[in-house]
Amino acid sequence: MNPLRQLIQLFRKPFPMDDGLVYFRNSVLLSIFITFFLYVFEPFGIGTLESDKFLICLGFGSMTLLAAMVYDLIVYRMLGLRGKQRDWTLGKWVVHNIFIMLLISLANFLFARLAIIGYIDWSLFPTMIYSTFMIGIIPIVMLGGIAVLNQERKFQKIAQEINQKNSSPFQSHEQTHEGVFGISLDQIRYVEALQNYVKIGYVNLDGQFKVQTERTTLKGLLDQIHGSPIIRCHRSFLVNQNAIVSASGNAQGLLLSLSGCCKEIPVSRSLVPVFRKD
């Protein structure tokens, strides 16, 4: 396989989406890195400053953090453009980081021109964009790629451990004739949350996979079937343990394959230990 195709496949790999705290932590670390990188290596004429060099470098770092937080507020929270967890890929993550760097370039350009020089010359803005990308783009792509490969390797190993316990690790001979909404619990494969509704994926008596929508919540349904093989595996999913035939893993976590169903069900990272128990 040629390097270009390998790179394209890498960018298409699922990426572990950061929550708000992780994004803030990474933004703080980036701002600290920018501050000390500028102070130590003195690029872009910083070494010619006669005084307050550290405060100026700290200013660039602070503007970096401010720009990242503004981007998070507008793009992720107000516009909701991050997308769903399972749709988040390394490529999308890199694209979002490119836009973050553009906003950081603008913030640092305004800081440099107004706080240091005293006037704005927009003809120099492309130079600031170039400088920001020279510092940031390679580390971002490398760190993103490392994160994907490490997380993918981790969850593939967990999936392999689960599958090696038994050829059908979660299969059980226990049967129950209880049911909900006219569907036997034995037939249910998964339940997916849709706000105040749920989608119940099940296999009917003819062996055909069907989906039924009902007005209830995951919590309400889980309370009705407490003690059954159907358990929570994700904030948006319940899964029938007796229907799981194998587990697989990618950078976002575990995925469960179910008998009679082509849909793979995600497992939240916090709930992975439930599926590793003997």
Return the domain boundaries, the chain: 3-150, 179-275
Q: Which amino acid is at 256?
A: L
* Predicted local distance difference test score (pLDDT) of residue 19: 64
* Predicted local distance difference test score (pLDDT) of residue 142: 80
153's tokens: 């390797």
* Predicted local distance difference test score (pLDDT) of residue 42: 83
* Alpha-helical segments (H) within 166-237: 218-224
* Predicted local distance difference test score (pLDDT) of residue 199: 95
Q: β-strand 261-267 against 253-258: which pairing, if any?
A: antiparallel
249's tokens: 């893993």
41's tokens: 């290596």
Give the burial string for 78-100 (b: 16+ CB within 10 Å, else e).
eeeebeebeebbbbbbbebbeeb
* Predicted local distance difference test score (pLDDT) of residue 169: 46
Give CA–CA dist 110/126, Å, rounded. 13
Coil, helix or strand at residue 50: coil
* Alpha-helical segments (H) within the chain: 3-12, 20-41, 53-71, 90-111, 125-165, 218-224
Please list, in sequence order, all residues whose beta carbon lies within 8 angstroms of the beta carbon of residue 114, skipping any fewer than 6 positions away: 120
**Domain 179-275's class?**
mainly beta
* Predicted local distance difference test score (pLDDT) of residue 175: 53
Query: What is the torsional sign of CA 61, 62, 67, 70?
Result: positive
* Predicted local distance difference test score (pLDDT) of residue 137: 78
* Predicted local distance difference test score (pLDDT) of residue 84: 62
* Predicted local distance difference test score (pLDDT) of residue 173: 44
* Alpha-helical segments (H) within 52-89: 53-71
* Predicted local distance difference test score (pLDDT) of residue 176: 54
* Predicted local distance difference test score (pLDDT) of residue 213: 94
> Which of the residues in the chain have pLDDT under 70?
1, 18-20, 81-86, 165-177, 277-278
Give CA–CA dist 104/91, Å, rounded. 20
